[in-house]
Amino acid sequence: MSTWSTNDIPDQTGRTVVITGANSGLGAQAAKALGAAGATVILACRTVSKAEPVAAEIGPNASVAALDLADLSSVRAFAEGIDHLDVLINNAGVMAVPKSRTADGFEMQFGTNHLGHFALTGLLLPKITDRVVTVSSFAHAIGKIDLDDLNYDHRRYERWSAYGQSKLANLMFAFELARKLGRSGSAVSSMCAHPGYASTNLQSHTESFYDRFMKLSNLVAQSAADGALPELYAATSPEAASGAFYGPRGLGGLRGAPTLTKPLPKARNESVAQSLWVASEKLTGVTFDL
């Protein structure tokens, strides 16, 4: 795994992969790599026009479908339009944005990064044959799951702690899904990945002074193509294990080839994960057929 690259992706001919947020950054790079390996790739994006050039570059085995993770009606409409898939990559996300609400009234980062993907996965799960990959971040380290106020209805909003909560929720969801799938005897697996520090346009949409800092620090970040390697490994490698977490191996997990990595212990807290799951089902109205 220490030298794993897109050249090591197994032949994906005959397989269908859905990637959220595949119009740019990590998602676009993952889509291109999977398309080159023969997969049928569905680019699930909020703005279809932004994803169409990526699909055109991939070729006839790529298509674009509208999906706004900040609107549960859009999530349901997208899921209804999918008949079959082998792999779902929950890649899309927003980072450190000003306080705002999704169409359903959720805090934007928790609602988009976690609840949108939670609902999407639950609705698509009966149609998935192989695996679910959820993209988190080393920012889960600054996250705390506040079960009493998940949507910042009462506590003071702080954009980075809200982002950390959403990324910790991604991890806890992926691990809890792996446990539930395992207990049910399902052949589907669930794993998580993070890109380390990769240069993408995600870092330039915080609408704050951080945007300038992020653009400057991108000079030392690895490329989006390299940042996509952990999620590609999780999505394609026969060695990738359900319940595992993959990220870059170098510079403290910031860059390099993918490797098995350890989340902070709080991400493995099963009691909190179960409570988060119940809350997520209640908020989204989506239950999992397990």
The pLDDT confidence band at residue 204, using thresholds 50, 70 and 90, is very low
Which among 152, 157, 163, 197 is annotated as catalytic?
A: 163
Q: Is 76 within the bounds of a domain?
A: yes
pLDDT tens-digit map of 116-160: 999 999 999 999 999 999 999 989 999 999 999 999 999 999 999
Q: Which pLDDT band, with edges at 50, 70 and 90, does 206 fall under?
A: very low
Residue 137 is assigned to a structural domain of this protein: yes
Domain for residue 67, yes or no? yes
For residue 81, is it within any domain?
yes
Report the run of H or E that residue 226 belongs to, with start and end. helix 224-227
The 10 Å CB-count burial string (b at 16+, else e) for 180-209 is bbeeeebebbbbbbbbbbbbbebbeebeee
Question: 50 is in which domain, residue-wise?
Answer: 11-282
For residue 163, indicate whether it is catalytic. Answer: yes
Asked if the structure places residue 39 within a domain, the reply is yes
Q: Which pTM was predicted?
A: 0.93
> In this model, does residue 211 exceed pLDDT 80?
no
- Count the domains in the chain: 1
CA distances from 199 to 91, 222, 225 (A): 15, 6, 9
What's the rounded Cα separation, in Å, for the pair 277 and 169? 9
Residue 80 sits in a domain of what CATH number?
Answer: 3.40.50.720
Q: Report the distance separating Cα 10 and Cα 19, nearest Å.
A: 18
Closest alpha carbon to 222 in 189, 188, 191, 247: 247
The verdict on residue 170 lying in a domain is: yes
69-77 mean pLDDT = 98
Residue 197 lies in a domain: yes
User: Residue 1 has what pLDDT?
Assistant: 67
Joined tokens for residue 69:
């993770």
Amino acid at 55: A
pLDDT, residue 5, reads 96
Residue 287: inside a domain, yes or no? no
CA distance 262 to 115: 24
Which pLDDT score is estimated for 203?
46
